Structure formats: C-alpha cells, structure tokens
Structure 1
C-alpha cells in the first residue's frame, strides 16, 4: 500500500508542475517610489500575505516581492495591498486564550494591508487565521486600528471591547446610518464608510472612490451538482488466525469490476480563486464472489466461502483545483478525504463440505467503519470530469462467524481487508 500511495503522490506533484500559474497584469511600487508594471500571481489570499510572486513579463522568471522591498502592489480594479507601519492589537479571540484586560494591547509592526475602500477615508483590513483587524486612514493623517477585543471579566465571562463604535461616532459621524448596528465585519464596515464618504463627498477634491470589497465579493462560493458513475476494481480478503484447536483459515476473493452509480455535491469556497472545495459523493456498490479452500491434508473436506457485500459509500473530502487556462474551464484537481461505508443486506458464508458428514455453515455480518482515500483528476469545459481514486484498505469490522448448525464450536473473530481502485466519470448537472 505504501508503494501505491508514493506513486500517487509523485504523480500529483508531476501533474501540478504543468499547471498554468494565474499571473495578472498589475504593478508594484518599490522602496524608492518607483512604479513598475508587471504580472502578479493572483492567489486571492485568505490571509494577508507578507510576500508574493511577480514577473516583469509573462515569459520571465518569477520574482519574490516582500514586505522589505515593496511598498505597494496590486492589480488594477481587482485588489491593492499597501505597506504600513501600524500599531496593532494581536490579542487572540480564541476562547481558551482570552486575557482579562479590556484594553487593547498594541504592538508595532510592519504589515501589508488589503485596501477595502478608497475615498475621503480609506479602509484597510488585515487577517491572519483568527486574527482580523480593520484600519482607517483619513487624508494625510496616520493610520489607526478600529478597536475590537474579546476578553474575560472578573467572573470569567466573555466581555467585548467595542471601542470601534465610539471611533465611528466621534471621528466619522454620518446621519445616514446608525453605528449601534455595525458589526466588526468587512461588509458592515465597508457599508458604513461608503455612506460616510458620500456624506463628506466635498471634504477632499479629486478623490477617486473605489470599492475593492465590492469587486472581491463578486467572486462567490459555488455549489455544483454532478451525476457520476464509478468503475471500481475491488478485491476482498478474509482471514482467521490459527489457534490450538483451529487451523488458520483464509479466503481470497477474486478481483471484481464493479459499476458504482452515484451523485456528487461540491461546494467551492469563496477565496483563493475558488481553488478549494469540499464535497460529498454518495454512491452504491455491490460486491459478490465465491472461493474454495481445500483442507491442508484431508482432500475429502473443503470450505466454500461466499460473500455478498452491498453498501452505500459516503466519501467526504477536500479538493484543490489547479487551472490549466485563464478561463478556468480546464483544470486538474487533487482530493483526499474519508469514506463512511454503510453496509446493508450483506453477509459472508463459510460452508464445510465433507464426504463423511452433512454440510455445515456459518455466517458473518458487516458493521460501519471509515477509511481514507486519495484522488486526482481532470475537468473539461466545466462539465465533464474524470477522477482516479485510491481507497486505503478498508477493514470491514466483521462480527464473528455465527454457527448456523450449532455444530462448529465457538465463534471466532475474523480479520478482513477490502481494497478498491476506482475510475470515476462525472457530468455536471448544474
């Protein structure tokens, strides 16, 4: 199994190296205030970056733009990041890491900030995991953070420092909105500053009002539905370790080709250019086989093992897309996840045949148990998809053999492995 997984990983890396990077025409401003046109790799960052890749021309090598040598970078009418020296409160909002001080704990730092609104007052944001902070800058004044903090009071209850509401009322009053309903979120703050800028439209001359938040919000999450058909290559093995009174028993069933119909529901996340997705793709499968095991020294006695294994598979996973063209209609994808397998009307039978005694049989049943999977594939024209998926060996969590004839002695606990490699064809319904 390790060899199979290694080969898959190497293949994924090799395929990914052919994928086209999404470089878009933009600009950088260096420390000496020189503005250069270039092509920036648009990664639609969820967290605020401290470096990025750019090219002077599409055929040139990539360069790293860092916070040390770049003052500003962006793609016109898409996004803009500016470097600032700021005082920022980095207090965590995780409940187990809250402190007991209501006051913001500011530290000095140099950061890229994402521009949300350009107007008489500019609004910026910074994100790093659960840390989200917003900043404002009015004209040539210094940049400041809008204060918001969670803390624990003397009774260990969660308190909120909502000083940002006071800042909005005092520094940016506007009779078009009520600050009490403004949450410390992008949408609320953007809407407030848009209204404030319109209230004070004549405060500055020749101000270009740009709503970068609105531009970014056009890229939304996507929900995709597929009909799919899997071709599974499956093999099952049962084994029972030997004891003092029972010999070792093993049943190796044939490799079977199984058709597995199903559907897929995919949710593409609204960041990183919709490259990340989560999905669930339930499908039905049915495996049937029979094998004979001859007794090691009694030729007149053998065991016949038959199996009927039906289940509803519920794979739940995460997927990463790598675009092959600028229109994002052709792309590779790589996914991994866990499969919850729900067996029904399934059983295995062990039958003893002997010339000197009547046939005796016993059965086992199956229980739910999860396993992991890895896959990669190709999407064409946003409609057709093919995937190659490797499922880790599944332990079927067998119950013990139950003696149907009350002749075969005590129950024994069997071990099992169910291995599957699948080729999955999908068609997008909507």
Structure 2
C-alpha cells in the first residue's frame, strides 16, 4: 500500500507541471502591429490581465500584458481590451447591494468574445461575478448589459435593464417584444439571441460553439481492492491484531461534472458504491472475527492530462462518507463491538480511453470504533476501479 500511495503522490505533484499547451495564435499591440506566435491556451475562466506566449517552440516564454496588448486570440478564445464602465454587483446574498442603482466604475478589461458580428457579445468573469457586454459600429467601445440583484426589505429584487437594452439594440430585425421579455442573463440564452440577430450578415462567428462547455458523464464502476484492518490497543491490555489483507469487491456508479474552463481538465465527481469485507483470525488467546458491509459516498475533484483526443491520464482526491449496512461488528472471543459510522480521504491515479477507464485508488485509514473504546480498529484499502461511460 505504501508503494501505491507513493505513486499517487508522484502523479499529484507531476500534474502541477503537466499539460502546458502552446498553440498558434496572435496578439495586436497598442500600435496596431499583429504578431503571430504560440500562446499558452488555458481556456480562461476568469478574465486575464496577461498571457504567456513565445515566438516558436524553442523560444523563451514571454508575457503579454493588458497595458501593451489590445487583442489576442488562440483557437476559439479571443479577448479584446476595452476601457469600459463596469457595475460589479454580486448575486451572492451576503455581498448583495440594497440598491437597484448601478455603481459604475471605469476599468481596463480584457473581454472574451462570445458572438462576433454586426453586434458583438462579450463576457467578463471574475470569481463569482459574471457580466455581459456588447459593441456596435467600429467595436471600439463596449457597453455592459445591466442585470443587478439587490435586497429590499428582506426580498431579492432585480434590475433587468438589459432586456430593454437588447430590444433597443435589435428591434430593427427582432421586433417582437416576447423575444426579450423573459430572456435570462445567461451565456447560452444571450449567445443564442446574438447569433439569431447576426445570422444574416455573413460576418457572424459563434465562438461559444467551440469554447469549453460543461458536461456530465455517467459511469458504472465495478472494482476490487485489498482491504486491511488493524486493531490497536489504547490502554496497554495487549489487545492488538492485524487482519490479513483480503479482496473486497465493489459495485458503484459515478456521476462526473466536467468544468467549463481550463480545456476541460478539471472535474467534480461522486462515486457511490457498496462493498463487503469479512475476515477472521487469531492471536494468542484472542480469536477475532469481523463483518463490515458498507456504502461509500466519495465526493472529490479530478484533474485530466490529455495524451491525445481519445486518451488521458488523471488524478483525483476525494472525501468519502461511509454508511454501514446491516450488522457490522468486530468480535474477539465473546466480546462483540459494533462498527461506528466513519469517513476518510482517498486518492487515485488512472487512465481513460474513450468510454473506458481504469483507476488505482488508495483509501486512507478510517476509524471503525468509537474513541472511548479500550481498543481501536482502522480500515484502509488499495484497489483497482474499472469504469464504463454510459453517456
């Protein structure tokens, strides 16, 4: 198990240095000069203030700074710099304003292009703040589409001026007010509207079609592990025993949420499964038996390292709550102790190819008996989990 743990730790450390992807792109300097180069594509979630680039594969990495660059692009990601008025109102309850009136502040921002055309849609994101902008004409200026949540007498109200802004902007082609009355302040809804408006111009580009999107995967996850239980004496009464490692089979199902940024390299997952461990043994005058059937509910984060379009390595770490099923106990001679509810951390490394995956996962020790007992029991495991993605 120590060897497996060392492998997990190695991959977790290695991930921090993996997957630095430089891809063909360009940037435009303040003087209008366009530079073709390789740009590090990190599929930005938050609006950047700088980016890494190099002239060619063998060249040193340089920084493109917002003060020196008016525009840059790599693959489906394009950012344009604007000096714009921003209302940074929050939708988080304890950070929410008590006024419907926007609090404008002029800032220099890189705005991400979502839909480009006669009227262009942009997104600005910073933590939990997400705002949308548009530009027209020569696209030298960007204006925020105003949506503001605020608290008033304990009730959350909204300033939805953005709907009127959109109607004023697009009524030459979309004259039906129903197109705007219920539109949500969300990327998918706004992008769809801008695509519809720009659709007949011949110059429309929907960059969201190839930008990172969130997705959900469902897998079945059978597996086998070697379970180990150690009995430790807490009062010096000589009650100690190590059960021999024993195969434990599991059947489970995983739900994985792929995050819509950083080239879909990050995911959240839950992997509920059921396992059954039963063992016995003896040492001196003590005869030991135990039965442990449990449902494990891991919740964790996963990082992917892509090898090609179909194959990838991954590492993950999870916190698992554990629920006992039926009669779970540890017994020596005639003394029987129930196994208490528990939890632990787990870490794993794996490989995925198309819809198949295989993972080696180590479950760190979790206590099985209450702290007031004269002796304690710890369960740990290391095993192989196979996965098949249904959709």
Look up the match of 1:28: 27
Higher alpha-carbon deviation: 334-343 or 4-13: 4-13
Look up the match of 1:369: 342
Alignment partners' CA distance in 2, 1:121 and 1:10? 49
Q: Indicate which of 278, 301, 305 corresponds to 1:318.
A: 301
Q: Indicate which of 341, 346, 357 corresponds to 1:385.
A: 357
Alignment partners' CA distance in 2, 1:427 and 1:162? 45
Q: Compute the TM-score of the two structures, normalised by the length of structure 2.
A: 0.87
The question of 1:288 aligning with 2:271 is answered no
Rate the CA distance shift 1:61–1:324 in 2: closer, same or farther, 3 A: farther
**C-alpha deviation, 1:222, in angstroms:** 4.1
The question of 1:144 aligning with 2:140 is answered no
**C-alpha deviation, 1:65, in angstroms:** 2.3
Alignment partners' CA distance in 2, 1:221 and 1:330? 18
The question of 1:336 aligning with 2:317 is answered yes
Rate the CA distance shift 1:2–1:108 in 2: closer, same or farther, 3 A: farther
Alignment partners' CA distance in 2, 1:263 and 1:289? 26
The question of 1:415 aligning with 2:376 is answered yes
Map 1:114-193 onto structure 2 (within 5 A): 114-140=112-138, 142-153=141-152, 155-173=153-171, 174-176=174-176, 178=178, 179-193=180-194
Rate the CA distance shift 1:283–1:340 in 2: closer, same or farther, 3 A: same
**Deviation digits for residues 384-413 of structure 1 (CA, Å, limit 9, x no counterpart):** 43322221211114599xxxxxxxxxxx55
SS in 2 for 1:249: coil
SS in 1 for 2:235: coil
**Deviation digits for residues 124-154 of structure 1 (CA, Å, limit 9, x no counterpart):** 110112211111111136321111211122x
Alignment partners' CA distance in 1, 2:16 and 2:312? 10
Rate the CA distance shift 1:156–1:263 in 2: closer, same or farther, 3 A: closer
Alignment partners' CA distance in 2, 1:101 and 1:285? 54
Structure 1 gap ranges (5+): 202-206, 295-301, 352-360, 401-411
**C-alpha deviation, 1:260, in angstroms:** 3.6
Look up the match of 1:252: 242
Contact 1:365–1:398 (CA under 8 A) maintained in structure 2: no
Q: How many aligned residue pairs are there? A: 386
Alignment partners' CA distance in 2, 1:26 and 1:177? 40
Rate the CA distance shift 1:385–1:172 in 2: closer, same or farther, 3 A: closer
Alignment partners' CA distance in 2, 1:4 and 1:189? 48
Contact 1:123–1:135 (CA under 8 A) maintained in structure 2: yes
- Structure index of larger Rg: 1
Q: Compute the TM-score of the two structures, normalised by the length of structure 1.
A: 0.80
Q: Indicate which of 205, 212, 233 corresponds to 1:210.
A: 205
Look up the match of 1:101: 99
Alignment partners' CA distance in 2, 1:144 and 1:41? 29
Alignment partners' CA distance in 1, 2:377 and 2:134? 62
Alignment partners' CA distance in 2, 1:109 and 1:315? 43
Q: Indicate which of 222, 229, 234 corresponds to 1:228.
A: 222
**C-alpha deviation, 1:321, in angstroms:** 0.4
**C-alpha deviation, 1:240, in angstroms:** 4.5
**C-alpha deviation, 1:198, in angstroms:** 5.5
**C-alpha deviation, 1:5, in angstroms:** 6.2
